[in-house]
Amino acid sequence: MKNTETLREYGLITAGSVLIAAAVGFFMVPGDLVLGSVAGLAMVLSQVLPLRVATLNMILNILFLLLGFIFMGRSFGAKTVYASVLYPALVWGIDMVLPDLASMTGDTWLDLLCFIFLVSAGQAILFHVNASSGGLDVPAKILNKYFHIDIGKAVTVCGLVTVVSSVLVYDLRTMIVGILGTYLNGVVVDEFVSGFSRKKRVCILSDRHEEIKEYILHKLSRGVTVYQAVGGFEGKERPELVTILTKTEYAQLMAYVRRTDPDAFLTVTAVSEVAGTWNTRGHARRI
């Protein structure tokens, strides 16, 4: 089971790295977009230090990886090392195959939107498995853990520091585009991250509550809380089932309830986060 989970996590890290590399290789570089990143920070520092951009970029990435190991633990560091090696290798591959790639849209703002969508999705996938692509994602994750700043806002703060300093190297328009892009990147990352953890809280009143409870417990492998509810009109007491499900499990439950008791009364609310022990496929898991 542990090996399967590890393979799943590294599969997701690979997918996230591919998305980020595509965002950089197909939209950021061809579109001349300067957003908050280690590469941007290295370009600024190269103007005041006697070191080349590539050298500074490597030094900064190594520094941030060390910070990841120290503050986030060995697991975070190992996953981030894998992603931070794979991601630049993919970008390098894109550059080798398509060395003279021009802007795919011909418009700075469209390039920016496409970049934000892809890179935010990739970052959210990596954050979901406690990893990152390295660089400024590492201090962003540290801010998220120790100062309880939303991960999207942490990405924004780290990126804005770099983007604002880029005015020393680039023109004002480039800096403004970078600021807007970095802010939107943070907003979209938060949306993607919250999408991973979003659940459904389902309350059920049914004459066939025992069958429905058994289905939730043994088919969906989820917990159920049973309350005694009293009807306001008739004053009769009956069991109310309450459970927390993923979106896929919710769809399965709804299909089962429709078949089993079409007259069942259900209320459904969105749950943005589940804290504590939450039963996942029959195995206790900390969310």
**Domains of the chain, with CATH numbers?**
2-196 (no CATH), 198-286 (3.30.70.120)
CB 250 within 8 A of CB 268: yes
For position 266, what pLDDT does the model report?
92
Alpha carbons within 13 angstroms on the beta-carbon side of residue 116 total 26
Concatenated DSSP letters of 190-211? HHHHHHHH-EEEEEEE-TTHHH
Decide if pLDDT at 208 tops 80: yes
Question: Quick check: 285 pLDDT over 50?
Answer: no
How far apart CA 192 and CA 57 sit, in angstroms, is 28
Tens-place pLDDT, residues 108-143: 889 889 989 998 888 888 888 877 777 787 888 788
pLDDT in tens, 216-228: 998 888 889 999 9
Per-residue pLDDT, 73: 75
Can you tell me which residue has the tokens 């078949």?
259
Of 167 and 212, the one with more pLDDT: 212
At 137 the pLDDT is 74
**pLDDT for residue 284:** 38
Of 265 and 144, more confident: 265
Q: Which of 40-49, 174-183, 238-247, 274-283 has the lowest mean pLDDT?
A: 274-283
- How confident is the model over 23-48, as pLDDT tens digits? 888 888 787 777 777 767 776 777 78
User: In this model, does residue 287 exceed pLDDT 50?
Assistant: no
pLDDT band at 210 (very low <50, low <70, confident <90, very high): very high
* pLDDT for 99 beyond 70: yes
Confidence bin at 15 (pLDDT 50/70/90):
very high
pLDDT for the residue numbered 2: 66
Q: What percent of the chain has pLDDT over 70?
A: 91
Q: Minimal CA–CA distance to 239: which of 247, 231, 251, 249? A: 231
pLDDT score of 77 more than 80: no
> What local confidence, expressed as pLDDT, does residue 282 receive?
46
Q: What is the mean pLDDT of residues 77-105?
A: 80
Q: Is the pLDDT of residue 211 over 60?
A: yes
More confident position, 101 or 212: 212
